[in-house]
Structure 1
Amino acid sequence: MNIRIFLLAFALAGAIKGALQAEELPDYVSSVRNESIRLDSGMVSVSFTLDLGNHIVDKQHKRIVTPVIISHDGNHEVALPPIIANGRMRAIKDRTKGLDRAEAEDAYRVLTGNREENRLVDYHATVAYQPWMDNARLSLLEEVTGCNCGGLLASEQVLEEKALYAPSLQPSAETHVPRTFTPRSEERDAFLFYPVNQTRLYPERYGNAGELAKIDSALQFVQDNPAYQIQHIYINGYASPEGRLNHNRHLAEGRAEALKQYVLSNYQLPDTLLEVTRGDENWEDLAKAVEQMEIPNRDALLAIIRSDEEPDRREARLKQEAPDTYLLLLRSVYPTLRKNTFRISYISRERTPEEARRLAEEQPQELNAYEFYTVANTYCRDDKQAYGDLVLRAADTYPQNAEANNNAARTCLLRGDLERAGHYLDRTNNEPFTWNNRAVLLWRKGQQQEALLWLRKAIDAGDTQAKENLREIEKRGM
């Protein structure tokens, strides 16, 4: 096919102008057909048939045709081996000067004379692929030099404006965020004092009022908010390890039950909401306390505390290993091990779209993850920026929500923000619905082989967008 030719006029001064006037240029016209540029196994393959025209080369001229791949922005280019046609007299002159051998080594083909068999040249060359080659143009740069005066003519013949197809990989459609209520909780540790070997709770004695205030604050925080709904209350009791295990467990469980009765008597809650778990000796907190202390035999004591021995045996060994240190623990650490843990689990009820819209701006943590999408779909369908901002806010509010973070990564990919897209994808656990977006991110970062691996994984998992993206890549070759 015939392609437009862009002539670049040389502003030649003095003697060059005179030479041009003295030497009448022949009509050099070339055309190309069957052009192809493909990517295969990391190599760009360029092929075409070049027709040098009726007049191939004047006897005094050298005609050089060089295929060049030029980046879309013009900042990068790579020249392929040229086709050189020497006029008969020019060939003799180069041979006399010993220039013909070096020329032949660098050229794709060297032709001599204006012979018909030189007119058509089947060209094929390869070059290593580089990311900037996507959407690059393939051009033929043609230069004609004369006998004495150097350059006579230069032109660029554009064969393909976007020679190497740049695949446009698209992120997956928005992942559905389920209508689930985010579990929330308030937790308190209460160090309540009970008389020795008793399980009766005295709220107004022994400093217990201050400890019970912690429990009250958690309950009131949830009960005073009409949007909150209590799901469950968990109470556990812990005893210090001195004494017999069975007795300590009985005390711990009884004291936890006493706290349950305190809650039921002061708050109108159904008994079924409260669960008391079996009490136990608090070896875990004992280990944490000893680990922070500067005491003799600390490592040996920690080894005993963390061993798998029966608890009563561990207690006896602590006394034997360091009697003085044991007394110190008994006075300063053991009282802190006798505690109740209190956890109230609740959810935040669904808000109206109007209220959710306000909370999305003022208190996003009050919304469930899916409610951000209620706001986005109700108020921002025609505002891509605002819609995307809400998607990002949902992920920022719920960093453990894989669907929300996958959608945030999608938004960032559409905006071209690869760094943030990676940040959100890192929060997921590589669930299958994230694989296509991960592939798109890697592709745009230039990690194409790794991107292909994730694309194929996504296709195997049934991702239709991944199939489309692979077809898009196949248009260019791989």
Structure 2
Amino acid sequence: MKIRLVGDIAGMTLLMALFSCGTQQQGVSTQSGSVSQQGTEEVVKPAQTLVRRADIPMVQVDALSVYRQMINYIEPETATSALPATSTQQLTAFIDFPAGGITINPSYGGNRAELEKLQGEMTALLRNGDEIKSVRLTGYASPDGDTKENERLAGNRAIQFKNYLQKQFKQLDNGLISIDWVGEDWDGLARLIAESGKPYARKALAIIKDRKDADSCRKQLRALDNGNVYKDIEKNFFSRLRRMELSVSCKSQVQTTPQDVNLAELAQMVYTAPDKLNLEQLMLVASLYRPGTEQYREVYELAAYRYPSCKEAVLNAAAASLALSDVESARYFLQSVQNDPRAWNNEGVLCLMTSDPEGAISYFRKYLPQNPRLARQNMEIARQMKE
């Protein structure tokens, strides 16, 4: 059997050959006799020839149904209102290290102030007796020097910082911390340069965007303005990229069950009085609908437009647009959350829907730390489309 993936989007097709199985149609040999009225003559018809015929059907699978299985959605915390409240805090600590060093030294550089700030932030999270559910620690290195060495340093520094946190906070000494690292944060560098408004920003960003590898990118940046651009980048940006980012999820002791909520009434208000619904109410209404449906999309689009600072609303509005093959709306929403790792899988799906499997593979690879299984599955689909 052969399966062909077809769709309206960018004329994309994917042909996957599976095993063929013949279906047999066999004629049955029969004999029928014709006897005359006198019963003296019998005419026998010749037996029919056995026939073997193999049909190999072509089954067409709608491309959109495949894309829908590749999309990820975000479960908003307000949708689990009957459970203890869960909040996630993003904390950042800029830790200085000597060249080639990996040890956390509070006395080195500006580490004391950064560690004291982090201590205060973590203490504030725990002051109400909240339970820490998980801590995701990501170590970043600046893209200067040697790529392999930066990868090694970023990983080892993340491990050392995890050990430091476990010594400072006994609540974390039970396997709650997971670690990851980014050897060279080119995306972060591009963001800082774009926000700076430097005269060389346009040229530098073009080089970073089109980089084939880290070494050639550094070489081109060093060539700008006889090396003055690279010196300015070293002075103003690299130190801001060497950091530890913590995503701390806490479960509160306070229950967040809303009082006297009439979900049916709220759902009707989406169409009759949407301006009277707050963000939490919109999230509750969205939980009534299955992801990928038109109703789900309508609620999240409303939430995304009214509360653009709510990343969960924007991410789900983009996902819902993809599920309904609205590429332009999906691109619009994804642009505002392009630096959010949770968006990278759906960025990859958008690339596939616009005939860019190479770009899709890049996004799926970036998404691996968020959901390895889904990312690998989607990368395999993208590779087959590329071939």
- Which is richer in strand? 1
Greater length-normalized contact order (CA 8 Å, ≥ 6 residues apart): 2
- Which is richer in helix? 2
Q: Looking at CA atoms only, which structure, 1 or 2, has the larger radius of gyration?
A: 1
